[in-house]
Amino acid sequence: MNNVLLISEDTLKTYTAINENVQSDELRFCILQAQTIFIQESLGTNLYNYLLNLVDTGDIYNPSEVNYKNLLDTYIQPTLISYSYYLGLDNFAMKFMSVGLVSNRSEQGDKVDFKMFQMMKVNSKNQAEFNDNLLRRHLIFKSALYPEYMSGNLNDGQLTPETNNGFKSQMTLPANNYYWSRNASKYKVGSNNYNAMGALCCGSSFPTWYGHSNNS
């Protein structure tokens, strides 16, 4: 795993609710995870590796690399801070110990219940995806500033840039009997309201192919 960080542990503490007394090594894994997964997905492997090299060598501060410095400061770092915090919530909720997986408990406060933890996860994910969306829009509209964004050869295990919206909401499908009880006599094999998934789309606004066993 590459050990070049695009944000420091202190930066993560400054711009999140993480307390100053949290040790840096507790945060390093979260940052590396977040940039390897989420930032690389948005930048693509070529641009991602190019930025890592600029940061590692210090060339990111050269006047000739001002576009990349702006990309890093204005778009990548806010996104990375949010995703690192999002992943860090899991790491601080529980730990692997010699006795097994245990939940953390503060000596100075009450333990956060699961419902509150879920709310924090959702809120942090929403913020991260909003920043990620801004990053992707900037890259699309200003792609000419970053030649590595859409060029170069990719090897096995490397990623092309993800240009879709940064928000990743889960798809929710109604159950098979969602509309079935409204008028069961209407929904039978051969009718326009019936498909291979049963009464999934019966009487609803979903098209008949939605959820079809042959649909991909």
Q: From the first residue on, what is the mean pLDDT of each consecutive set of 10 residues in the chain (216 residues)?
A: 85 87 84 94 94 95 96 96 90 54 54 74 90 93 91 75 64 43 47 46 48 45
How many whole angstroms separate alpha carbon 110 and alpha carbon 72?
37
Q: What residues are paired with 147 via a beta bridge? A: none
Q: What's the pLDDT at 101?
A: 44
Q: What's the pLDDT at 24?
A: 80
> pTM for this one?
0.68
Q: What's the pLDDT at 43?
A: 94
Q: Which tokens is 107 given?
A: 């000596």
Q: What's the pLDDT at 17?
A: 81
Sequence-distant (6+) residues with CB within 8 A of 68 are 50, 51, 54, 60, 146
Q: What's the pLDDT at 90?
A: 78
Q: What's the pLDDT at 144?
A: 92
Q: Any idea which residue has 């009487």 for tokens?
A: 203
How many whole angstroms separate alpha carbon 184 and alpha carbon 168?
35
Q: What's the pLDDT at 116?
A: 76
Q: What are phi and psi of 151, to 5 degrees?
A: -135, 170
